[in-house]
């Protein structure tokens, strides 16, 4: 793609002409028909991968050549820099293997009562908006904060009982970035990327991160004083860290030191808050604009759950609800693109192109999801795409809201269980309708990196 001096191919983003998601479709369509294509982010080149077989090689088959994600590599505090998203190579592998059992079926089963309590609180919280219009992104943010603070921190955030709780006020600002900071980061990326290693700069709001970390430290100190064991993510991470200490050689550095444990808790909070609230709010927008699907979903959920206790196995039976959520993520994936960094020299399959260590490759998630050759009539919302028969005919690595391969989202099952339980509670208690401020089709925010509707996701709520 022909670049412009200094800004490369990022003009539409820098000048606020295109959303990041819409830009990925443009790039995908520009290169479609070719297995790959070159793109400049400022002066930095990245290779877009288009061919399904090469995508599979990068994400899964030859993953050992692409183990790392792109990071700024700045002097962020450890509670940010040591998150599983930022760790590289053997360190990432070690921490991932320690964390994986935390998201096992048996662990998730133990969290069901906590999540159900939060879903019930959500229903009560929404009753105050009966027959009113509301922005669902804000409401769902309250729910995901309450759920994650309970399952990760073991604390009440009051997100569903106090309209402006301290926890909510801080967490909502986590990715706010003033315009001058955006241009500063772009300038350094373009002209002096090596300078990042000396700077304490982040894509996240550092003031908010510091306050969230203070809350986490206070919670940890409280636990040390009481010695009470909790059934939450923080306790599981603390136990894993203690176990590693007991079995480690004193000459070897610990993978789960205090800073690394803190980083996993904070990234779990932030990643879960933003992505799950996005999924739920866009899902409700779909219900409001497609009453036929809403009625079908309500009937399905009622038939499966009526008069029964919500359990892990019962949730697994909600197949239409799962298909509905997966289709929502296809059309409205929170992340538009996934990147990988070359960690070992690599020859692209079927070509003479050699990739050197440190070069980056990008996979345009949103372009793939909206490709009519992969998903016929891609703008049509059709949950049946994810029924067994049709799903089995499509390569799994061409559905990427959670990534793919060893570096896929570790919290995938937690996110699906949480959103399923929330949606089940909502459709049984409320009907969602288009309102005066419902924007359809949705226009995406041109400044945001993660998916965001530029005028909110307003619907009318009627209690059933």
> pLDDT digits over 237-288, tens only?
888 888 888 887 767 778 888 899 899 988 888 888 888 999 999 999 999 9
In DSSP terms, 40 is beta-bridged to 45
Residue 12 in domain: no
Residue 365 in domain: no
Q: What is the pTM of this model?
A: 0.92
Residue 246 half-sphere exposure toward CB, CA atoms < 13 A: 6
List alpha helices for 149-205, DSSP H.
Answer: 166-171, 179-191
Parent domain of 201: 74-334+389-463
Show the low-confidence residues of the chain (pLDDT under 50): none
In DSSP terms, 8 is beta-bridged to 4, 41
DSSP 50: -
Q: How many CB atoms lie within 10 A of CB 211?
A: 18
Helix and strand tally (H, E) in the chain? 18, 9
Sorted by sequence, the CB contacts under 8 Å of residue 362 that are 6+ apart come out as: 39, 46, 47, 48, 49, 337, 338, 339
Assign residue 137 the CATH number of its domain.
1.10.630.10
Number of structural domains in the chain? 1
Residue 363 backbone phi and psi in degrees, to 5: -120, 115
What 3-state DSSP class applies to 204?
coil
Residue 348 in domain: no
Q: Do 259 and 399 touch, CB atoms closer than 8 A? A: no
Question: pLDDT tens, 100-142?
Answer: 888 889 989 988 998 999 999 999 999 999 999 999 988 898 8
Residue 294 in domain: yes
Residue 54 in domain: no
Residue 203 in domain: yes
pLDDT at res. 177: 67
Give the torsion sign (CA, 305, 309, 315, 317). Answer: negative
Residue 42 in domain: no
Residue 61 in domain: no
Please check if 409 is assigned to a binding site. yes
């Amino acid at each position: 793609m022909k670049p412009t001096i200094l800004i490369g191919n990022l003009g539409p983003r820098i000048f606020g002409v295109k959303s990041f998601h819409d830009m990925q479709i443009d790039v995908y369509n520009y290169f479609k028909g070719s297995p790959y294509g070159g793109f400049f982010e400022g002066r930095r080149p990245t290779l877009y991968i288009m061919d399904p077989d090469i995508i599979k090689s990068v994400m899964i088959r030859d993953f050992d050549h692409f183990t790392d994600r792109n990071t700024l590599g700045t002097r962020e505090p450890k509670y940010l820099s040591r998150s599983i998203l930022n760790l590289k190579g053997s360190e990432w592998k070690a921490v991932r293997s320690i964390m994986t059992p935390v998201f096992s079926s048996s662990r998730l089963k133990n969290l069901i009562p906590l999540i159900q309590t939060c879903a019930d609180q959500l229903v009560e919280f929404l009753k105050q908006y009966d027959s009113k219009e509301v922005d669902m992104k804000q409401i769902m943010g309250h729910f995901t904060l309450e759920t994650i603070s309970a399952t990760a921190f073991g604390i009440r955030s009051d997100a569903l009982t106090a309209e402006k709780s301290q926890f909510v006020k801080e967490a909502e600002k986590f990715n706010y970035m003033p315009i001058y900071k955006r241009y500063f980061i772009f300038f350094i990326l373009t002209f002096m990327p090596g300078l990042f290693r000396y700077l304490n700069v982040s894509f996240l709001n550092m003031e908010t991160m510091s306050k969230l970390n203070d809350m986490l430290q206070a919670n940890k100190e409280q636990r040390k004083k009481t010695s009470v064991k909790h059934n939450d993510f923080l306790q599981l991470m603390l136990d894993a860290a203690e176990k590693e200490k007991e079995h480690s050689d004193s000459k070897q550095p610990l993978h789960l030191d205090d800073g690394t444990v803190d980083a996993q808790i904070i990234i779990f909070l932030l990643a879960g808050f933003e992505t799950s609230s996005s999924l739920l709010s866009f899902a409700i927008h779909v219900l409001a604009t497609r009453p036929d699907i809403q009625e079908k979903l309500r009937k399905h959920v009622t038939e499966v759950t009526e008069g029964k206790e919500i359990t892990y196995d019962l949730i697994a039976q909600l197949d239409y609800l799962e298909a509905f959520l997966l289709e929502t993520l296809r059309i409205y994936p929170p992340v538009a693109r996934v990147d990988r960094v070359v960690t070992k020299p690599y020859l692209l399959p079927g070509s003479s192109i050699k990739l050197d260590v440190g070069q980056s490759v990008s996979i345009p998630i949103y372009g793939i999801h909206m490709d009519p050759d992969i998903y016929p009539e891609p703008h049509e919302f059709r949950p049946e795409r994810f029924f067994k028969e049709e799903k089995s005919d499509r390569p799994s690595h061409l559905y990427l809201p959670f990534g793919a391969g060893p570096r896929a989202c570790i919290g995938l099952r937690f996110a699906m269980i949480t959103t399923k339980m929330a949606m089940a509670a909502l459709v049984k208690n409320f009907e969602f309708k288009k309102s005066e401020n419902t924007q359809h089709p949705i226009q995406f925010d041109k400044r945001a990196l993660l998916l965001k509707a530029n005028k909110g996701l307003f619907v009318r709520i009627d209690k059933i």
